[in-house]
Amino acid sequence: MLIREKKEKVHGLPDLDGVEGKVVMRIAPGPSGPLHIGHTRVGILNDEYVKRYGGKLICRFEDTNPDKIEPDAYDMIKEDLEWLGVDISEYAVQSERFEYYYDVTKKLIEMGHGYMCTCDADEWRRMKEDMKPCPCRDLSAEENLRRYERFLSGGYADGEAVAVIKTAIDHPNPAIRDFVALRLVRHPHPRTGTKYIAYPMMNLSVAVDDHMMGMTHVIRGKDHLNNTHRQEYIYDYMGWKKPEFYHYGLVNIPDTVLKTSLIKQSIKDGEYSGWDDVRTGTVRALRKRGIRPEAIRRYWVENGIKPIDIQFSWDNLFAMNRDLIDDTADRYFFVADPVRYDIEGGGDLEGRAPLHPDHPERGWRCYQVGGHKTVFLSETDSLMFSQAGRVRLKDLCNISYGLPAQYDGNDVSILREGVRAIQWVCNDSVPAEVLMPDGTSVKGLAEKAVLDGKGDMVQFERFGFVRIERRSPEGVLCIFAHR
């Protein structure tokens, strides 16, 4: 028996190198705000691999810069990850792990791989550019250890001294030459207050934690390529086994506000409604608009982990989301900027339409239009009607232009002649408002049946998919997702 396999080449993620049994991977967000669409890539990719191979996914909060911490971010990020379906096995917080960083720094200084630099920061940088060691670099380990003790116990002012890891002062790549491991910050930390004054720089804390937590594979953005090289010095000095490193390309996300500090300021100024303001690209904003986490996942999986810089495509994401919601979203008529028409002739009218054209079993919207037979058309359809002279009110009847409009039979076949079918609502419609991603809102009328719906995603025919934020007898408030 020959069963021809369907040539269904779904492009999944490539296998990782060096997998022996289970994997340990991580994501390492800085808690400066909730996650945005750009952050979701690293979460999804790591999650996909941990699910493929089994093992652990650690979420490690990198809160080693007390200036940039938003105290609520720890919880918001956790919520965002849960919604995304990224399964975190363990959470860790770097501000609770300072002793480890101090310990490793001390060992590195003892071995002569690190030094305490008291030079002026600009001066030190200039010397590095010229491949020249600063005077502190060649001090004895004993002297450096004395300085290190003084450093930890508060004997220096902020900026007066730093702990530095030696690499190669004459390394051809200036980005790799000696890097700072610890600095002094007396600004209080939202979690640890003033308990610590010596703060690790990411290259120290990341290397120490990745090793201690047993990372087997590290996936992160290409912008960290040089950081990886720097961290490898620590691995080599300490004799640690290195994880497999992967660097995916940078993502350019157009037409959206992502910068955390900017969003934060706009919220403070009262311009944005919050972290979920639909004008932003935060995960919570996308969620509010009705973007499904599965769509975001599929998007990143299809993008892979190549180190090529890419252009983010909202079109592609929306197409994937449409795929997911199309089957479940019931259909309703919505009329923006309504224009009233009465219909003359034809007696009382009635009609009906399925909640979903592919699922008549879900039920029907039924219309009865009597009396003056008042209907409302959207402003743009009204204009089109006046020009075309004839139009079909979808699922009700045909009309020809006039004031009042004239009943023109109920023969569907006129659609084949090029007459357009348009959406309409009658007198018992309810007010509807659709919040658009650009911050504007479209006001109009929706058919009454929308109040009885259950799902939160619906399609306003010929308008787009919207998420229903609130149903009340006074009307519906919706958020626009996409066409």
Q: Does 422 bind RNA (CB under 7 A)?
A: yes
Binding segment (CB under 7 A) for RNA, from list 80-88, 135-143, 199-207, 276-284: 199-207
Q: Which of 183, 279, 373, 467 binds RNA (CB under 7 A)?
A: 183
- Residue 292, CB half-sphere, CA atoms under 13 Å: how many? 17
Q: Which of 4, 17, 21, 172 binds RNA (CB under 7 A)?
A: 172
For the segment 69-108, give every residue that binds RNA (CB under 7 A): none
Q: Which of 262, 383, 403, 415 binds RNA (CB under 7 A)?
A: 415
Q: Does 455 bind RNA (CB under 7 A)?
A: no
CB of 474 to RNA, least distance (A): 26
Which of residues 306 and 470 has its CB atom nearest to RNA in the complex? Answer: 306
For the segment 113-152, give every residue that binds RNA (CB under 7 A): 119-121, 124-125, 128-129
Phi, psi of 407 (to 5 degrees): -60, 135
Q: Does 28 bind RNA (CB under 7 A)?
A: yes
Binding segment (CB under 7 A) for RNA, from list 81-89, 268-276, 362-370, 459-467: 459-467
Q: Does 225 bind RNA (CB under 7 A)?
A: yes
Q: Which of 216, 392, 426, 437 binds RNA (CB under 7 A)?
A: 392
For the segment 230-259, give every residue that binds RNA (CB under 7 A): 247, 249-250
CB of 354 to RNA, least distance (A): 9
Interface map 345-384 toward RNA (x if CB under 7 A): ------x-----xx--------------------------
For the segment 271-330, give every residue that binds RNA (CB under 7 A): 302-304, 306-311, 313, 315-316, 319-320, 322-323, 326
Beta carbons of 29 and 59 less than 8 angstroms apart:
yes
Which of residues 256 and 316 has its CB atom nearest to RNA in the complex? Answer: 316
Which of residues 238 and 310 has its CB atom nearest to RNA in the complex? Answer: 310
**What is the size of the binding site for RNA (CB under 7 A)?**
77
Binding segment (CB under 7 A) for RNA, from list 36-44, 144-152, 225-233, 264-272: 225-233
- CA 255 – CA 42 distance, rounded (Å): 21
For the segment 46-65, give every residue that binds RNA (CB under 7 A): 62, 64-65
Q: Could you tell me whether strands 390-393 and 421-422 are parallel, antiparallel, or unpaired per DSSP bridges?
A: parallel
Binding segment (CB under 7 A) for RNA, from list 132-140, 142-150, 217-225, 279-287: 217-225
Which of residues 172 and 473 has its CB atom nearest to RNA in the complex? Answer: 172
Q: Which of 224, 288, 373, 467 binds RNA (CB under 7 A)?
A: 224
For the segment 423-442, give every residue that binds RNA (CB under 7 A): none
CB of 249 to RNA, least distance (A): 7
Which of residues 277 and 300 has its CB atom nearest to RNA in the complex? Answer: 300
CB of 473 to RNA, least distance (A): 27
